[in-house]
Structure 1
Amino acid sequence: MIDVAQVFGLLGSITAASLFFPQVYTSWKTKKTHDLAWSGIVIGLLNGVFWIVYGLIRLDPFIYVTNTILFIGAFLLLILKKRYG
């Protein structure tokens, strides 16, 4: 039987993890990042760190894997902002 909570958890994880990647792609493609706020990127990085630690403490892979991917997206934005901003 399908665990509905896990299905929603997986869908939530996929959408949360992909949050920054459309912006990463657009920034990489256009080489423009002037519209990206530094504070948004830093908050995204901090958010990822806090949730990764929480997920590791709780031993919950939905939380720490999702937020590791989210952190990578925010980190890529940071690199692009530094390079093209």
Structure 2
Amino acid sequence: MDYIETIGFVAAILTTAAFLPQVYKTWKTKDVSSLSLPMLLLFFVGILAWLTYGFLKKSPSMIFANSITVVSSFLLMFFKIKYTKK
């Protein structure tokens, strides 16, 4: 692994880890009032695009980070839909 991919993994771990507390908090509190569904949808599509890009570039760090983040963002969208009071 070259130094560029090492930098990518450090960035991947930090940015992915930064997102996980929001998923956990939303799951525990079921409070989705501050989450915007349009933002979550745009973010999810963007992460899917980054994941595709990572596969096309054969970048393990991009694949790692975006695989976890796509699941996390999907969970937030699921929680937003499930826990929104009608």
TM-score tier (shorter): 0.7 to 0.9
Alignment of structure 1 residues 59-70 onto 2, 5 Å = 59-70=58-69
Letter of the 1:51 counterpart = W
> What is the identity, as a one-letter code, of the residue corresponding to 1:38?
L
User: Letter of the aligned partner of 2:66 in structure 1?
Assistant: N
Contact 1:18 1:70 survives alignment (8 Å): no
Identity of aligned residues (%): 29
Q: Do the aligned partners of residues 4 and 58 (structure 1) sit closer, same or farther apart at CA in structure 2, a change above 3 Å counting?
A: closer
Shift in Å at residue 4 of structure 1? Answer: 4.7
The aligned length equals 84
Structure 1 vs Structure 2 CA RMSD: 1.8
Q: Render the CA deviation track for 1:8-63: whole Å, top value 9, x for unaligned.
A: 32210102222431111111111110110112211221111101111111111111
> Is the contact made by 2:8 and 2:62 (CA closer than 8 Å) also made in structure 1?
no
Who is 2:82 aligned against? 83
List, as ranges, runs of 4+ consecutive aligned residues in structure 1 with deviation greater than 6 Å: none
What is aligned with 1:74?
73
Q: Counterpart in 1 of 2:14? A: 15
Q: What CA distance in whole angstroms lies between the structure 2 residues aligned with 1:84 and 1:57?
A: 36
Unaligned 5+ segments in structure 2 are none
TM-score (norm 2): 0.84
Q: 1:27: which partner in 2?
A: 26
3-state secondary structure, aligned to 2:33 = coil
Question: How far apart, CA to CA, are the structure 2 residues paired with 1:62 and 1:7?
Answer: 8
